[in-house]
Chain A
Amino acid sequence: MTNLVVALQAEARPIIEALDLVQDRLAGIFPVYCNDSVSLVVSGVGRPHCAAAVTHLFHRTAQSTDQAWLNIGIAGHQQIPIGSVLLASRITEQVSGRSWYPPYVLDVELLRSPLVTVDKPERYYPECCAYDMEASSFYQIASRCSTGELIQSLKIISDGPGSNLDLTADQISQFIAEQISSIETVLSQLSNLAEVLDTARLPQEMVSNYLEHWHFSVAQHNQLTALLGRLHARSVPLPTPPEKNECHDAKAVLGWLEEKLLALPVNLSIPQPKDRLGRAEQQS
């Protein structure tokens, strides 16, 4: 699941349309929109609302760590032309002076700029930065839910020195709509990155096969997961669980798995061309 956090309904509208999101009627205190792979929450303006909305979305739809999180919204900038899109290279909370540095591992050709999160709309743009009202609390809370590489803040420049700050909802939607392809590119890359971490995990059904047939204490459950993980890394396919009469309890199952692991030959090397069998095939 990729999680989007926007402040305004006007910012959300073009994204909801482009991604075919449907409102989750049971969502509760914040409006949430979903499809199979994306959830979007509309937080309202300002840091406290944003922090609460991230927490809400995590409990409502995400519920697991290491998912992608993207904050999308309009922002002001001292220099970058209106309508441009950028990713935050540093997020500074003006009120506390604290900074966060979203690690950048995407492969997108977007501008990157420091971003300052302010509590009142910035009309003077004193530094060569973008200015918004949510990103610092978004990053601060989202980084409790996921790893920094999967948390980014994407801003579309809507104002700058001398420009009008009183934008209509339609104007705001228009800014977002014009950058939908950039948003989709970032979403796709974040989702691919999250998959790297997801595929590295042991499939839950492998553990369930054992939990259904034997009672494991918490410590034994951890040992089971570790042993199955090691077997998974070393051999394809995993051994079929033993018969109940072969292993009467969890302790016996763990011993049985340890024996299986010890019996596997250790082969770390990449085979030479003359010997084309893969590592896993050689071991089975």
Chain B
Amino acid sequence: MIDTIYLENCVASYDRVKNITGRFPEAVRVPCERYQEVFNPKAQNFRLQKKRPALILAKKIGTAILPTPESYGIGGQHNYYFSHMLNCIYDCRYCFLQGMYRSGHYVVFVNYEHFFSGMSEKLKIHRGEDVWFFSGYDCDSLALEPVTGFVSEMLSWLKKYPRAHVELRTKSTQVRSLLAAEPSSNVVVAFSLTPTNTAAALEHKAPSVTKRIDTRVELARQGWQIGLRFDPILYENGYEERYRELLSEIFRRLPVHSVHSVTLGPFRMPKSFFRNVVRLYPDEPLFAGPFVNRTTMISYAESQEKEMMACCRDELLQYMPVKKLFSCSPESPISETETGNG
């Protein structure tokens, strides 16, 4: 439900904008010059805005495709990320976005071509080589797809660029645009997962883990490559059993051959973001957990992190080969000797 749509004056006449605003005929439309006027002011509260987020339609200016952190990847050599949207319709309590942005509004950059041309440029730089593009860093790749249609347009673009590989990171079950298309060998649909009861407590407004597994099974059946993302891995008493049950449920229903890759990432958040989220949710048990200061990040103690990563890795190795496993943390690689995969 969108009550308010802020429109940058420069995009107001776009057909794409007319289509998007047409889906919310009752919403109040408020013109603005630049989206930052609405999104960036200090006197805003992410927690309150999450009650009724507005939609901001804007034009992306400048660099749209950025290199990923060094440790980030799923087997490719050249890795970039992009965000056609800022913020997410879900409200996961561990998410860094709530500490990074002051506003809970959704920004959608409607000049999609700018992203596609940015990707083309990267392909030119890495002539003859595969290049990976990660979507869903600052948003959920698919959750607002019925409104934006971004992924549909990207799938058409990708047909012409087989060297471009895309990861769509999502918790959404909005996969109609994927089911309506031919499975693409250069797309990985990567689902973020936490154990069922933990998700119920922390992943507000997101589809249940069961529904996410159902969706994944449906996509795999149609031939889409599936990614599994356990990021962040969260500590609680009995976490071993919770992750064991989750993996058992996933692999009972999902054929291993349809899994392109699995990523493990320990909870980590920049200190300033963590300070902000604790201010927003001082009553949240998650943030009162056993976290420590580690250089620029708040995360679990190194020994605890290694133990959790090892536990999940060992459990996963019962189902799949190590070459499909990747770590998001340079400090906790999947294997001390085989760090090429993470």
Contact = CB atoms under 8 A, between A and B. Distances in A.
Contacts of A261: 288
Interface of A: 66, 89-90, 99-101, 103-107, 112, 114, 143-144, 146-151, 193, 196-197, 199-202, 229-234, 261-262, 265-272, 279
Contacts of B237: 265-267
B341 to A, nearest CB: 29
Contacts of B60: none
Q: What 9 A-B pairs come out closest when comparing CB atoms?
A: A269-B197, A230-B288, A143-B43, A233-B288, A147-B45, A149-B48, A105-B52, A270-B200, A270-B201
B140 to A, nearest CB: 21
Contacts of B41: 100-101, 143, 148
B285 A279 contact: yes
Given A89-B4, A269-B195, A269-B197, A229 B32 contact: no
A90 B288 contact: no
B147 interface: no
Contact of A105 (B33, B37, B49): B49
Contact of B54 (A104, A197, A199): A104
* Interface bracket on B: 35 or more
A201 B48 contact: no
12 contacts: A66-B45, A90-B31, A150-B48, A151-B43, A196-B47, A234-B285, A234-B288, A262-B290, A266-B290, A268-B285, A268-B289, A269-B201
B197 A270 contact: yes
B284 A233 contact: yes
Nearest to B50: A105
B286 A103 contact: no
Contacts of B282: 200-202, 229, 232-233
B198 interface: yes
Interface string B1-36: 001101000000000000000000000101111000
B44 A103 contact: yes
Interface in B194-239: 195, 197-198, 200-202, 234-237
B251 interface: no
Contacts of A106: 52
Interface string B223-265: 0000000000011110000100000000000000000000000
A149 B288 contact: no
A266 B28 contact: no
A75 B2 CA distance: 27
A150 B280 CA distance: 15
B281 interface: yes
A89 B287 CA distance: 35
B290 A233 contact: no
B38 interface: yes
B198 A269 contact: yes
Interface of B: 3-4, 6, 28, 30-33, 37-38, 41-45, 47-49, 51-52, 54, 103, 105, 195, 197-198, 200-202, 234-237, 242, 278, 280-290
A231 B289 CA distance: 10
Contacts of B283: 199-200, 232-233
A234 B290 CA distance: 11
Nearest to B43: A143
A266 B239 CA distance: 10
A193 B197 contact: no
A266 B200 contact: no
Given A112-B28, A261-B288, A269-B201, 13 more contacts: A89-B30, A101-B32, A103-B49, A104-B52, A105-B52, A147-B45, A149-B49, A200-B47, A200-B283, A229-B278, A233-B282, A266-B237, A268-B286
B285 A197 contact: no
A266 B30 contact: no
A148 B3 CA distance: 17
A278 to B, nearest CB: 11
Contacts of B235: 266
Contacts of A272: 197
A196 B52 contact: no
Contacts of B52: 104-107
Contacts of B236: 266-269
Nearest to A113: B28
Contacts of B289: 266, 268
Contacts of B54: 103-104
Nearest to A194: B48
Contacts of A232: 282-283, 288
Contacts of A100: 41
Given A89-B30, A103-B48, A269-B200, A146 B43 contact: yes
A276 to B, nearest CB: 13
